[in-house]
Amino acid sequence: MPLDQYVTLGRSGLRVSPFALGAMTFGEDPPGAGSSVEESEKILAAYLDRGGNFIDTANFYTNGHSEKILGDWFARQPRRRDRVVLATKFFFNMFPGDPNGGGAGRGAIVGQLHESLRRLRTDHIDLYWLHNWDRNTPLEETMRTLDDLVRAGKIRYVGFSNTPAWVTAQAQTAAVLRGWTPLIALQVEYSLLARTVEAEIVPLALDQGLALTPWSPLRNGFLSGKYRRDAVTTDSARTAHVGTPAPADFDVIEAVASVAASLSASPAAVALAWLRARPGTVVPIVGARRLEHLDDNLAALDLTLSATQLADLDAVSAPVLGYPAQLHGAMRAMLQFGGTTVDGEASAVYPPLLASDVRY
């Protein structure tokens, strides 16, 4: 499956590639944090040449250098800018000492957008993400400001990232009831090693028709195939930054490696193929510090996991979702359906009594 087999992002008319290109690693500010300008441009060109059209960055990635690299590249090739979906984020304060330099208040959003447009050298953002929840600003202020910017032509679509489900639900309800621009997608951490979003956020997304764009789909590279149980990592700088897998993580890592071996594929491709098979519209964000990393990730487009392989990966990575999510599965059916089958879901009888045993 090539990158130009597009999907519609949520309830919108926006068509994007099945994988987005994450530009968090574009730039070397601070030194060693990402890719050089030259390598970043090679990665960007390779993604676009393969039919990709969805690029994701943020105002503070590599202290703004990520946005500038993208802006400079598209400025040299202006015809390509209008053929891509360029997404960036606001929230992080890049002006020490200024309490209004970040967050999701009206002035902060407008100011951050102005700076992003300047660095990206464009007159609009195709998808503008709230990067985190601003507890100090009313949601109505944030959503109204974003709607004003859509009406002004500065941004075209809106999404939330790293936001509690109940906050997202409030924002979406306010937008729908007041005729403001609604959310179309949620950017969340989601992978075989990070599935707690399935408690509240994934059900909300499915109910509201919101696309999911998972970040860190390989969980800091833990699912890339580089990590083995009891092996000693030699990349001390990376370990200091992202840590190492927990002992329980290796059960999942080894299951992914087993499936990969059976398919003559890379573990990274298997992990990404599993994500793409999740319910709803799921568009993983793949990052790369080197061009070969991108090629390895995009191999997942040609990989289809069997029902058995998906079930095995589901089982070994099953998350502990906490209350009340655990009551919404087998226990709910057992308590609700009385031993019947409803919508294809069979249930047991609880307590194990016959109808004739009911005395009260």
Domain membership of residue 342 (yes or no) is: no
pLDDT band at 356 (very low <50, low <70, confident <90, very high): low
Alpha helices per DSSP H over the chain: 37-49, 65-76, 78-81, 106-120, 139-151, 165-178, 201-208, 236-242, 249-263, 267-276, 291-298, 307-316, 330-336
**Is 157 one of the catalytic residues?**
no
Domain count, the chain: 1
pLDDT band at 39 (very low <50, low <70, confident <90, very high): very high
pLDDT digits (tens, 9 = 90+) for 6-38: 999 999 999 999 999 999 999 998 877 789 999
Mean pLDDT of 345-359: 64
**SS3 state at 190:** coil
Mean pLDDT of 239-256: 86
pLDDT of residue 2: 84
pLDDT of residue 357: 58
Domain membership of residue 238 (yes or no) is: yes
Mean pLDDT of 249-254: 96
pLDDT of residue 242: 66
**SS3 state at 318:** coil
Domain membership of residue 184 (yes or no) is: yes
Domain membership of residue 340 (yes or no) is: no
Q: Which of 6, 47, 61, 128 is catalytic?
A: 61
Residue ranges making up the domain that contains 132: 7-306
As a whole-number percent, the residues of the chain with pLDDT over 90 amount to 79
pLDDT band at 352 (very low <50, low <70, confident <90, very high): low
The average confidence (pLDDT) of the chain is: 92
Domain membership of residue 314 (yes or no) is: no
pLDDT digits (tens, 9 = 90+) for 72-129: 999 999 899 999 999 999 999 999 999 999 999 999 999 999 999 999 999 999 999 9
Taking the alpha carbons of 33, 16, 190, 204 in that order, is the dihedral positive or negative? positive
- Return the CATH number at 196: 3.20.20.100
- pLDDT of 240 > 80? The answer is no
- pLDDT of 350 > 70? The answer is no
Domain membership of residue 43 (yes or no) is: yes
More confident residue, 210 or 328: 210
Decide: 306 and 273 in contact? Cβ < 8 Å. no
More confident residue, 113 or 322: 113
pLDDT of residue 355: 54
Decide: 24 and 77 in contact? Cβ < 8 Å. no
As a whole-number percent, the residues of the chain with pLDDT over 70 amount to 91
- pLDDT of 232 > 70? The answer is no
Domain membership of residue 24 (yes or no) is: yes
Mean pLDDT of 214-226: 95
pLDDT of residue 327: 77
Closest to 85 (Cα-Cα) out of 41, 47, 36: 47
pLDDT of residue 324: 86
Domain membership of residue 350 (yes or no) is: no
- pLDDT of 354 > 70? The answer is no
pLDDT digits (tens, 9 = 90+) for 156-179: 999 999 999 999 999 999 999 999
